[in-house]
Structure formats: C-alpha cells, structure tokens
Chain A
C-alpha cells in the first residue's frame, strides 16, 4: 500500500481559492440544487462550465436542472462503446424532451482501445484500466477547456461521497459543482415524478445505477442502488471522479438557433434586424431606425419603400414623431436596464394617446416581472433572452397580479358594478 505523499506547501493563491470554495459552500447552505447550478453557471464560472452525464438512471434530474438554467450549456456524454443500446436511445430521448441543444459525445482514443483492449474484454480482466482508457483519458482534454464541471453525484450514493459538498476544488485547480449533493434517493424519485421526467428504459427492469453494460447489474430491492456497478469487485468509482486526464470530442448535433421574439403567445422568427452603425436610411429594410436618425433623415426614410420600425431610447420624445408613426410597422422601446422605467410612459403615450395599433415591442433588459406591467402599458411583443423569463412565458406562469386598481387605458374592462378604479385584464 502506497504511503500518502506529503502535500507540497500551498501557495497563498491556492489557500485563498480553497477558502473561496469554503465560503461558496457556506453561501449555498440555504439554496436548492437549481440555485447552486444557476449561480455556478452565471457567477462562478460563466461560459466556463460543462456537464458530464452518464445518461443513467438518475441523470434526468441534473439534466432537467441544466435545461432550466441554460439549455445550451455543454453536456458531455462518455460514449465508451460499451453502453446498453437503451442508454443510447435514452440520450436522444432526453435531449428531445428537455430541449438540450449542446450534448456532445466523447469517444475513446481508437489507438488506445486497439492497443489495450483488442478483444474488448478488458472490463473483465482489469476494469480500472478499461475505465481509464474509455472515460478518464478521453475526458481530460475536455476538462482542460473548462474551469469547472458539474456532476450528478449525491451524498447518499456511497460512503465515500457522504461528505460531498456543493463545491469542490480538484487537484488541478478546477471546480467541481455538485448541485444534487444533498439529494436523497427519495428526493431524486420525487423530483422525477414531479417534473414528469422520462425514465431510463432499464430502470423499470431493476437497474438503479447504470453505467457500461458489462459492468452493470440489477440490484435487489433494498440494496444500495450502486451495488449493481462493478458487482463483486472492490470498485465504486470509474476513475473520473478521483481526478482526470485524456481525447476527442465530436459534436453529435449542431447547436440549434432559437427565436427570441415573443408575440401572440409564442416565440417566433423575428423579421427585424438590429440597426447597425453605417446603415443607410434610404435602403434599410426590416430595421428599427433610431428616433434621432429618423428625425435627421425624415424625408429619406419616408421615401424608403421597405418595411421599417422605429427604435425609441429612454431619453427620446415620442411626441416628436407623432405625425409619422403610421410609417412604422413596429416600434421598439428600449429598456436598457430593467430599473429604467421611462419606456412605460413611452408605451402608454404610443398606445393610448396616439392610438398606435401596430407592434410595440420591448427590447433590452426584459424580465418576467416587468412583462405584466409592460402589457398594461400597451406593449405587445417582447424580445427575451433571459432563460427563466423564456421558460415562464412558454409555461404561461408570469408572476402577475391580474386585478388592477387604476385604469390606464381602454383595453381593460370594468368588472360588474365595481367602482371606476378597478379593472381586471
């Protein structure tokens, strides 16, 4: 048995980093799994975070969280060549169900496979080495690209994982994020049911933890769910969760483009493009012309035969273009920060005082909490990039108080004989 190596003296930087991790874990005591993952993706490691998923029995939970935070987060799947066909089907099924648009497969280095496992039976004679060439090695170049990665590990799974925190620092100075660390077996099952997540096809057949086909067996009722992994061997981890090193990633599908214009109850293709510096007022088409540009080039733009919109920035005076509003197919009101409320006044003037009946869209920092107010002010289209807001719109669950004290316009009708102040949408 090898003696533990003496750790080299830690540079101050590393100590700070380690302390940072402790602080992170402290901060997230009160947060749930979604909070941990969201904070990791947006604040700790923005653009620098990947997920490795086995697409096993419990993977749907983590992947569902990923889809809520950002469906374009990279998700890597170790295509060891030894998976059940059911697992490969499940990869496709989950991608579709959750709307994940950036799932990539990682394959072992073919030369290594031919050299160390020519007969394909290495799992039988030396499972550690099999895991090494099929998982640990191929994963290394991927992990090198990212400052951190997300795992679906849970404390309950093995004794060694019993102290698993939300955030860990690996020996190669990367952060491992474990949003499900505190999930129990029951939590996992409840979550799957609550969110209607599709089951791995083998789960119903008694497989509670699913890895490569040769090293996975059915577990009995009441048995540790991971007991079916490497059954009979003193092996609980495949190697990638100790530390890692190793090969080649190839995208299985190209990332899909997504629509950002919400109108009439759905995300639709936006015919308009952003006005760019140097665009010609005379020839522009399907652009929102900034209001000052319109004022400076009024004749030219009125003579322009193409469909155009008008871009109104917070300081712009909509009354200056009142007479020409009919020229525009769309007015885009800019909300540069969601605390800047000038656009609400612009929208009311536009829709109520000037009776502008075409599209009035909000662009910029559009969040779900603002949309109900924007609607009441007459805005009828929204360009939304904030993922939770997109989800809220799709699922029709905007946080809204839908009865109103004050009349703001004509679209709201009095309820029964209630006094004038009261309207309901």
Chain B
C-alpha cells in the first residue's frame, strides 16, 4: 500500500488547516453559503436533507486496518455509529456537525486519509478494480498510476473550477470491474507492438440524466506521457465544456455535441504542445511509487483444495459464500474474498463501527492488513490464504457480514435516496430492502444466478441504474413515487445502457414486477448457464415486456 512520507503528510495537514480556516470563516459569516459551497464541496462536505454529509476519500479503494479502525472511531465519535460505502469506493458519514469537521479531518490525517476532492467540480478520487494487484487476469497493477494521478490532480491550480465534476476510473485487467466506460475518462491497460505498457483512453462516458458510453479517444498512450495526455483532455474540457447548463456540463455532453473527432483533434493539438514537458513521468518516479504496491510476502501454501460441494452439504451458508464471494488470485494457494455489505433486508453499503473494527481485525490477522472498497459497495480482502478461508468466514459470520450473495440478485447497488439525499425524488434504500427480502431464499438466489440490480432514487443515477441488468429509477409522479424499470444495462467491457421497458410501478408493486421478470428469464433461458443478461440479449425486451404489461 502507498504510505505517506513527510511531503504527503505536510500536504494533507496544510489542506486540513486551510479547510478549517474556511469553516471558521463560514461560522463567522465572512463567507456566505454561496461562497462556502464550492469550498466545502471541494473537501467532500455536502449539505443533505437533515445534516451535513462528509465524504472521505478512499484512494482507489484501498484501506489498511489502521485506517478502517479510524473510520470506525469516527463513526462512533462523530456520527451515529455507522458509515456508508459508496460506488466511488469512498465512505460517507451522514450526520457530522460542521464544527466537528476540522477534528474529523485531523483524525483522518493521522492515518493518511483525507476528504480532498471527494465532491465539487474538480477531479475526483480515481477508482479502480477492487482486485488490483491480486486478480489472476490482470495485465498490470493500476494502483501505482492511480496514486500518481491522485497526486497530480490534488489541488490542481488549473482544474479546481471545472464546468462539472470529473471522474477517472482505471483497470489493469481486460475484465472491467471498474466500469471504466461509464466515467469521464476510463483507462484500460494496454500493450503496444513493442510490448510497452500504456493505456487505452476512453472519454465521455457517464451515467446521470444522459447516460453515455465512453468513446475511445486514443488506443495507446505510453505510460510516461499519460499525465500530459490527461492534462490535454482536462484543458480542452475546462476551456470548452458547457457552463451555461449544469445538466449539460459534463465532458460526455461536450464529446457528444462536438463529436469525438473534433475533441480528439483539440486534445491531440494540446498534447503535441505539452508532450515531453514537465509532466513526463520519469521511470524512477514510477518505480518509486510502484515499490509501495509490491505484493505482500506470500508464504508458499500447501496445496489446499476445498471441496465446495461437500461443504455446501454440511454447511450450506458457508458453501454459498465459497461459491460466490471468492475470487481467484494470481498467487497459488491464495484467494480474494468479497465481504458482502448486502445482508438480506439491510441498507446496501452500510457498515457499523463494530463491523468496521471487526473487519480491520480480520484483515490484520488473515489478509496482510489490506482491505478494498468495491464500486458495488462491498469490501474485499484481497489476499487470503485458501487455508484460512474457513476462519475468515467464521469471523465474518460473528459480525454479521458473511452473506454469500456476491454477484447475485440481492447484491444490489443502491443510492441513499430520499432518506438522506436532497436531490432524490424517491426512496431507494427501502426498495432495495424489500427486493432483498423478496429474494431472500438462498436456493432461489442460486437458481437465478448472476443478476445485477441497481437502484437510483433520482435521475442523477448515483445507484448506476442505467447499467443494471435490471435497473430501477425512482421518479416523482403526481406527488407519489413511481419506479421505472430498465433492462439490459451492463457496466463491464460489454458496456450497455439499459432501456426503459414501460410505465413505472408503485413501490409496493415493484417486488412483484421484479419477480415477474425473473420468472420470465428462468422460463425462457436456454440452460442454467445462460445468465439473465445473456438471455436478455438473445431474447430482446419483448417477452419481458409482455410478462409485465400483457400483450398490446
């Protein structure tokens, strides 16, 4: 993991002091709320329905046990005993007091954390594959470059007042687990003919009210020129991105309206000017940062084979967990474990202070002190010896985090919705909870298999509903809440935006509608191996539409 040196520490301390001063000037009234808003947003502080919300950066989703314990401490001391992990691999606290924020930031600083640029119209936390540095299918570990991007983008003097927020995601694996095609910039590791490592650059993807799939703007940018290329894109966006309409200000609209070729021309012209300049990455700097991400000292493991079928008979819950929550590791004898934050009937992504402490203990004891946050709002222990899986499972079970449902229908992404958010039109957490209870039966979940449901309480799509195999969007209609269903979305390399299938449903009728869709899929699938999304692609929307609304 990356470790702060004196420079990083001084930087974060300086930023904390600066933001503390800004808060004090707000409390003294020197700053109006209008003036304070962009300043507080740039440091992750929102004003929500009931209170301030503080969003803390978890750079590219990596946490140490010490950091996780600090988050638990903050939840306990300054909040209501829990935190909420987000789709940007961050964590947010929903009830801090403005006057406590400086103290919280100092606490975070003591464990090399901050809330810099977790909101506001600036470059946000770079997200990546939760299995980075562990996955068997990885070309290169994206974390060193993600850290370099974090440093380059922190308090950037030119790009702190962009037309709108800006999100970068990257993956070092051909199997995209970071939804890079739905980010302002998506980076996919690539190699050229000479075998050099570089990046495929995708631009203009995004969700929100105008979902767009990113477009390939450059198929190979050498690693050493990546920052120069990113700066070129940022400058074109900062100068020409729309500022007249907040809803058309993301780079996806600029790319869409101007056309990829025009934007590409501008970016390449800018790149020609800055390439080879101060942003050229020296290899020794890349190496220095990369050294922080060296794999842990794996010990050769005895050949351990777990008979999942046997375990499933003697302990079905453990069997399910083995089936669904384990990811293959590049190191023989090791595995990555997904810790589901989707207990049946729970609020997706929430963890209590006690759970955070317990997970920290487990990571320290069994997983080389490392944790990850996934964009699907779960946690990951990236490196666990296969021989320790049972012990890890038992420890998770004791703290209520052993749900074996990763990738299944109850593993939903869900935004905070009207229960917390000032933008929401409809509730989303209670909807997720109801669907979760509807499909609680493990056999039923196993029968359905891989199915991603994603729920947003408004058009801003924080719950990624556009890329859910089944997406649910809460809207306000005639004073009531109505839920629109989209089908066929996909956040992976087979990126697709879901299509609205028909009129929306009232909240109480929604679980039944989802059941109808699922039943239709099971009835029509070619075999149990054909997943929901595969069946949908083969069948189209017609049978699902007919099942929901009858024949026209």
Contact = CB atoms under 8 A, between A and B. Distances in A.
Interface in A404-421: 404-409, 415, 418-421
A389 to B, nearest CB: 10
A76 interface: no
A30 interface: yes
A353 B273 contact: yes
Chain B facing A: main interface SS = helix
B437 interface: no
Interface stretch (A31-39, A94-102, A212-220): A31-39
Contacts of B239: 342, 345
Given A38-B29, A38-B30, A369-B22, A404 B158 contact: no
Interface string A188-217: 000000000000000000000000000000
A296 interface: no
B35 interface: yes
B11 A405 contact: yes
B158 A377 contact: yes
Contact of A341 (B27, B31, B160): B160
B236 to A, nearest CB: 9
B30 A388 contact: yes
A421 B30 contact: no
A407 B279 CA distance: 7
A39 B99 CA distance: 19
Nearest to A348: B158
Contacts of A404: 155, 157
Nearest to A353: B273
Interface string A295-311: 00000000000000000
B7 A403 contact: yes
B157 A399 contact: no
Nearest to A372: B157
A196 B154 CA distance: 38
A324 interface: no
Nearest to A379: B157
Contact of B155 (A30, A342, A405): A405
A338 B239 CA distance: 15
Interface in A22-54: 30-32, 34-39, 42-43
A149 B527 CA distance: 81
A32 B152 contact: no
A403 B18 CA distance: 12
Chain A facing B: main interface SS = loop
A245 to B, nearest CB: 32
A363 to B, nearest CB: 16
Nearest to B162: A341
Interface residues of A, number: 47
B155 A401 contact: yes
A405 B28 contact: no
B194 to A, nearest CB: 24
Contacts of A31: 27-29
B29 A402 contact: no
A237 interface: no
A403 B159 contact: no
A404 to B, nearest CB: 7
B38 interface: yes
Nearest to A418: B7
Which one of A39, A341, A342 has the greatest number of beta carbons of chain B within 10 Å?
A: A341
Given A402-B14, A418-B7, A340 B151 contact: no
Interface in B484-519: none
Given A344-B161, A345-B158, A408-B158, A421 B151 contact: yes
B23 to A, nearest CB: 11
B393 to A, nearest CB: 41
A35 B30 CA distance: 6
A341 B148 CA distance: 23
Given A338-B38, A421-B148, A421-B152, A399 B22 contact: yes
A372 B29 CA distance: 22
B25 interface: yes
B244 to A, nearest CB: 10
A35 B29 contact: yes
A353 B277 CA distance: 11
A319 to B, nearest CB: 10
B28 A339 contact: no
Interface in B19-68: 21-22, 25, 27-32, 35, 38-39
A377 B31 CA distance: 24
Nearest to B36: A369
A37 B121 CA distance: 31
A344 B235 CA distance: 10
B10 interface: yes
A295 to B, nearest CB: 18
A380 B202 CA distance: 37
B32 A43 contact: yes
Interface in B245-304: 273, 278-279, 281-282, 284-285, 288
A347 to B, nearest CB: 8
Interface in B136-166: 148, 151-163
A400 B159 CA distance: 16
Contacts of A388: 25, 30-31
B15 interface: yes
A174 to B, nearest CB: 21
Interface string A92-133: 000000000000000000000000000000000000000000
A263 interface: no
Nearest to B5: A418
Which one of A342, A374, A418 has the greatest number of beta carbons of chain B within 10 Å?
A: A342
10 contacts: A31-B27, A38-B29, A374-B157, A388-B25, A400-B14, A403-B7, A405-B151, A405-B154, A407-B279, A408-B278
Given A341-B159, A374-B157, A399-B21, 14 more contacts: A32-B28, A32-B29, A35-B29, A43-B32, A338-B161, A339-B161, A342-B239, A367-B35, A369-B39, A373-B155, A388-B25, A404-B157, A405-B154, A405-B155
Interface of B: 7, 10-11, 14-15, 18, 21-22, 25, 27-32, 35, 38-39, 99, 121, 148, 151-163, 235, 238-239, 243, 273, 278-279, 281-282, 284-285, 288
Interface of A: 30-32, 34-39, 42-43, 314, 338-342, 344-345, 348, 353, 367, 369-370, 372-374, 376-377, 388, 399-409, 415, 418-422
